[in-house]
Amino acid sequence: MNTRANILIVDDELIVRESLLHWFEEDDYIVDTAEDGEAALKKFEKGKFDLVLLDMKMPGISGLDLLPKLKEFDKNIIVILITAFASVPSAIRALKDGAYDYITKPIDPDELSHIVENALEQQNLKKENEQLKGSIEEIIKPDNLIGESPQMKKIFSLIQTVAPTDTTAMIRGESGTGKELVAKAIHINSKRKYFPIITVNCGALAESLLESELFGHEKGAFTGAHYKRKGKFEMANSGTIFLDEIGTISPKMQVELLRVIESKQFSRVGGNEIIHSDFRVVAATNENLEDSVRDGRFREDLYYRLNVFTIFIPPLRERLDDIPVLANHFLQKFTCQMNKKIGSISKEAMDFLLQYSWPGNVRELENAIERAIVVCKGDSIIVEDLPFHINNNASFFNDDDMSIASMEKRHIALVLNNHNWNISRSAEALGIDRVTLYNKINRYGLQRKS
């Protein structure tokens, strides 16, 4: 095995040192020598060695006394002792102190080469196992699931905890915070990762369509059902089903959903066949389900069935440390896609990003950087390139009311006016869905100017 390992030969006999030096250099190892224990310690202070061939009997520091000192430099160092007078007590002491093996003089070059080769091979396997263990413990993340803030590190830790289990997980947070990315991270770090993760946006479908989407339908089950179709629960067999905006489903669908989650069986719409599916449920919501349960809009039993393990994603405005990291990630992503040479975000633009309230969270930041790259004329993004920049922007920050809610209200009003109160376009610009935008309009009492 040719590993180009570093070997140190420590022996007070010149002929032994030179013989071993030539033997191992011929085997293409990197070899150095030391005539006694003190010289060996000096060598260790200057460089690193993979293996030491150490004479047991030397003037000054003996090989047995030098062994633990070498282990202090590197606990993983391989030490093979060489002795003219082998004895059971000395061998036992050497092995207890961490020696790999020992060999007696006169030395058989082939035997020693074989011992060295085996020792280095075991060392390499140990290093590979440690690296593999480290890579396994490091969770796999989707591209945009990025952050260095304490909040995001906690989320990564929670993902690492829940992913290997089959526990139902609930992901909570405002629109645009990355709930679906967390769901994907849970899935790709689970034992179900070789099967699909199926996403259902419960808030985007009417009750009748959602039922067919989840459970499938038979041919002729309703007008327009021209063929049999598998539902999302069936497609998620052996994998994960991600139920987004779970707080929007109707009371009837809540009953159906609870039954399916508990029994793992269902029938297609218009059919009688009982279908079994082994799926894991991950749900997400931006609503306060506790209030919905209290008001009777969400079933308490379904709430407890879904809310087994909760991961809360804080809004972007509460984790400012992540804004530069995310902004630069999106910069690199979109400049590569658009083949534009924009190398940085100016300090003024970054300061602006850090001061902004981000009602649309990470999704809005991504949209903002993408738009800025499209309009940018130089090699650095400036404030004027950002989509929410206006010439009299100072008034946006110089108001007496500096609360986040007030800033969000003003920004939403600004975007609505800029898009002539087109809800779809405004929601897209804000990086939120239409339902969330309507909720915010009602919450802040925003009205279109006549």
243 neighbors 235 (Cβ within 8 angstroms): no
Q: Is the pLDDT of residue 105 over 60?
A: yes
Instruction: Provide, rounded to the nearest whole percent, the portion of the chain with pLDDT above 70.
Output: 91
Task: Judge if 303 and 164 occupy the same domain.
Answer: yes
Which pLDDT does position 389 carry in this prediction? 55
63 neighbors 54 (Cβ within 8 angstroms): yes
Task: Judge if 308 and 429 occupy the same domain.
Answer: no
Tens of pLDDT along 64-91?
A: 888 888 888 888 889 998 887 666 677 6
Give dist(CA 239, CA 187) in Å, integer.
8
Give dist(CA 48, CA 422) in Å, integer.
67
pLDDT band at 397 (very low <50, low <70, confident <90, very high): very low
Q: Which of 282, 287, 280 is nearest to 307 (CA)?
A: 282
Q: How many Cα neighbours within 13 Å face the side chain of 151?
A: 16
Q: Is the pLDDT of residue 277 over 80?
A: yes
Structural domain total, the chain? 3
Task: Judge if 157 and 260 occupy the same domain.
Answer: yes
Helices (H), 47-141: 63-73, 88-96, 109-137
Task: Judge if 162 and 309 occupy the same domain.
Answer: yes
- Name residues whose C-beta falls within 8 Å of residue 447's C-beta, 6 or more positions apart in sequence: none
Tens of pLDDT along 157-211?
A: 999 999 999 999 999 999 889 999 999 999 999 999 999 999 999 888 888 788 8
**Section 284-301 average pLDDT:** 93
Which pLDDT does position 143 carry in this prediction? 65
Rounded to 5°, angle at Cα 9 from 7 and 12: 170
Residue 111 counted as domain residue: yes
Residue 123 counted as domain residue: yes
Which pLDDT does position 400 carry in this prediction? 54
Domain boundary among 135, 160, 185: 135
Q: Is the pLDDT of residue 130 over 90?
A: no
Which pLDDT does position 95 carry in this prediction? 77
424: domain CATH number? 1.10.8.60
Task: Judge if 191 and 223 occupy the same domain.
Answer: yes
- Give the mean pLDDT of the chain: 86
Show contacts of 59-68: CB within 8 Å, 24+ apart: 59/12, 60/36, 61/36, 61/37, 62/37, 63/10, 63/37, 64/90, 64/93, 64/94, 64/97, 65/37, 66/10, 66/37, 66/40, 66/41, 67/94, 67/97, 67/98, 67/99, 68/97, 68/98
Q: Which of 402, 404, 401, 425 is nearest to 415 (CA)?
A: 425
Q: Which domain holds residue 438?
A: 317-444
Which pLDDT does position 345 carry in this prediction? 94
Task: Judge if 180 and 295 occupy the same domain.
Answer: yes
253: domain CATH number? 3.40.50.300
Residue 143 counted as domain residue: no
Q: Is the pLDDT of residue 394 over 50?
A: no
Domain boundary among 135, 170, 205: 135
Task: Judge if 156 and 122 occupy the same domain.
Answer: no
pLDDT band at 27 (very low <50, low <70, confident <90, very high): confident
Task: Judge if 82 and 130 occupy the same domain.
Answer: yes
Q: Is the pLDDT of residue 233 over 60?
A: yes
- Tell if the pTM clears 0.75, that is, is over it: no
Task: Judge if 285 and 184 occupy the same domain.
Answer: yes
